[in-house]
Structure 1
Amino acid sequence: MISKTLALNPIAWQAGPFTIHWYGVIIASGVILALWLSIREGKRQGINEDVFYDYLLWALPIAIICARTYYVVFQWPYYRLHPSEIIAIWDGGIAIYGAIIGGFVTLLILCHVRQLPVWTMLDVIAPTVILAQAIGRWGNFMNQEAFGTITTKSALMAQHLPMWIIKQMDISGAYRVPTFFYESMWDLLGFVLLVSLRHRRHLFKEGEVFFAYLIWYSLGRFWIEGMRTDSLMWGPIRVSQLLSVLIFVVSIALVLWRRQHSPQLKWYEQVKENNHEQ
């Protein structure tokens, strides 16, 4: 583990033994905003808002457990020697791909039990998930995680980054490439594109907003992961890069296959119109 000299205090509030970390505050803020936006779009698609509260109730703890498990598994040589730190998620160390997997499986189960339209639910939630990811990366910033290779202060200043970001990128006496920032901006751009385009006529078939999210995120994650020095590794392979390639290829293949073999699929805006007519 890399030692850190924090420019910003990672603790938001503390009273005796009770501590609230900025990491948790930022993650929670992203989740709350994602919930609000999902409810708004869900109403347009004829989905009761209680569905999203029920989903969050189950998905949030499952996603956190899966995200932490994913991280611990690929950092097992360390956690095997420090088992008491396995549950210390307030210090960071959750893998977003683990959270995505956990949330996806939870959604499939909820849709099956409640007889909900799976593709519509995925299309509604996907843009809000990538927004939550964009916000969540600032939790990594507060904990000085998800950083890149060693760079110089002048190189960071040349990117017109504010000094409070540059100072926080001084880790163990060396400035680091702010890959957390790159991914946050990539995710934010993905959110803007998805919400701007998803209601365009004859652009997305049902389910394709979700696949567009996967394609966009995995593309950016592959590129940005290559600049990081704290990647989870599987031997010589960066786990997130491998998973990004698989998700990117499978998502494009499924979009093409569904377009060719499932002509009955509705356009996303037709799903909305049909639900309002019911």
Structure 2
Amino acid sequence: MLLDASIRFPELGIEIEHLGTGINLFGIQIAYYGIIIALGMLAGYLLVEWQAKRTGQSKELYLDFALYAIIISIIGARIYYVIFSFDEYKDNLWSVFNLRGGGLAIYGGIIAGVLTALVFTKVKKVSFALFVDTCCVGLLIGQIIGRWGNFFNREAFGGYSDGILAMQIKKSEVAASNITSELMNHLVVIDGVEYIQVHPTFLYESLWNLALLIIILLYTKHKKFNGELLLLYVLGYGIGRAWIESLRTDQLLLWGTNIAVSEILSITVAIVAAFLLIYNHVKLYKQKKREKLI
């Protein structure tokens, strides 16, 4: 057994010793979180470029969009997080601009990205529905990779778990505000070191999104209308995120309530996406039926 492991998966027999949160490059501390987010963005763009080529579209169009969308989406993700976690920043407003320790909310990035796409496609005079169908695969691969930033930051985990994927993290390396009484009641002590044992929700979401990405890529050639892939993404991600969010100990809450913002938003967008998918398929079915009668 490795001693003084930072993170352990006891049921899988995996122990990672002295896992840092970043690297020092020429005297500059670079967080793994930032590196992983950057890798996610690069992989996202490359996949979108491939998807565009696969569906007979201009790759250059998506490169132009990426130059705007990446910056605006990061700003949107930060604003969303800060709005619902303002107590963390109200005494030091300059800390709002410090992204090194995390604090990006994916829904804020998605909202900003969609709004950017609306403006961009209007200016370029291209189909918004086809455009977002192509972009959603890049968003997914970015989320799949980006979630591992939470792993290195020891954040975005769930409550106590004794399942096969249960993860143990040193209590001293976790923000006290994310440690619930349930986790304290199930502390694991190994060689004098205290660990909390949690649901690795970052891993759940990464695997869920991987499955969703595979489904969308396989379905691309069979889609019935532009915008369908985005709706499948919204439906699939909304269902998964609603479940995963319910497990987390660091939920962003509506002001003055115990209602998780992302959980409510996930359920809402999943319902809307399901309705639009059914509506459009019924509409297409009726249209084909009329054409046969003619």
Same fold (TM over 0.5): yes
Alpha-carbon distance between aligned partners in 2 of 1:77 and 1:193, rounded to the nearest angstrom? 40
**Which residue in the other structure is 2:206 paired with?**
184
Q: 2:264 aligns with which of 242, 258, 276?
A: 242
Structure of greater Rg: 2
**Which residue in the other structure is 1:215 paired with?**
235
1:132 correspondence with 2:132: no
Distance 1:265 1:241, change over 3 A: farther
CA distances 1:176-205 after superposition (whole Å, capped 9, x unpaired) = 2211111111111111111122213xx542
Among all aligned residue pairs of Structure 1 and Structure 2, give the percentage whose two residues are the same amino acid.
Answer: 32
Secondary structure at 1:86 match in 2 = helix
**Which residue in the other structure is 2:93 paired with?**
83
**Which residue in the other structure is 2:11 paired with?**
none
Alpha-carbon distance between aligned partners in 2 of 1:127 and 1:40, rounded to the nearest angstrom? 10
Distance 1:168 1:189, change over 3 A: farther
- Please report the RMSD computed on the Cα atoms of aligned residues, expressed in angstroms: 2.3
Deviation (angstroms), 1:256:
2.3
**Which residue in the other structure is 2:20 paired with?**
9
**Which residue in the other structure is 1:276 paired with?**
none
Alpha-carbon distance between aligned partners in 1 of 2:238 and 2:22, rounded to the nearest angstrom? 31
Deviation (angstroms), 1:55:
0.8
1:95 correspondence with 2:115: no
Q: Which amino acid aligns with 1:215?
A: L
Secondary structure at 2:147 match in 1 = helix
1:149 correspondence with 2:159: yes
Q: 2:73 aligns with which of 60, 63, 79?
A: 63
**Which residue in the other structure is 1:26 paired with?**
36
Deviation (angstroms), 1:245:
1.1
Distance 1:198 1:46, change over 3 A: closer
Segment of structure 1 superposing worse, 170-179 or 35-44: 170-179
Distance 1:51 1:146, change over 3 A: same
Deviation (angstroms), 1:45:
2.5
Contact 2:154 2:169 in 1 (8 A): no
Alpha-carbon distance between aligned partners in 2 of 1:19 and 1:167, rounded to the nearest angstrom? 23
Secondary structure at 2:20 match in 1 = coil
CA distances 1:54-92 after superposition (whole Å, capped 9, x unpaired) = 111100111001100000000112210232211111210
Equivalences for 1:116-131 in 2 at 5 Å?
116-131=126-141
**Which residue in the other structure is 1:258 paired with?**
280
**Structure 1 residues without counterparts, runs of 5 or longer:** 267-278
**Structure 2 residues without counterparts, runs of 5 or longer:** 1-5, 8-17, 177-193, 289-294
Deviation (angstroms), 1:261:
4.3
Q: Which amino acid aligns with 1:144?
A: R
Deviation (angstroms), 1:147:
0.7
CA distances 1:239-260 after superposition (whole Å, capped 9, x unpaired) = 0001001101111112222334
Distance 1:258 1:147, change over 3 A: same
Kindly indicate whether structure 1 or structure 2 has the higher relative contact order, using CA contacts under 8 Å at least 6 residues apart.
1
Distance 1:265 1:24, change over 3 A: farther
TM-score (norm 2): 0.79
Deviation (angstroms), 1:19:
2.6
Secondary structure at 1:212 match in 2 = helix
Alpha-carbon distance between aligned partners in 2 of 1:134 and 1:242, rounded to the nearest angstrom? 22
Alpha-carbon distance between aligned partners in 1 of 2:104 and 2:170, rounded to the nearest angstrom? 20
Distance 1:207 1:168, change over 3 A: farther
Instruction: Give the aligned length.
Output: 251
Distance 1:197 1:112, change over 3 A: same
Alpha-carbon distance between aligned partners in 2 of 1:49 and 1:245, rounded to the nearest angstrom? 34
Deviation (angstroms), 1:167:
4.7
Q: Which amino acid aligns with 1:213?
A: Y
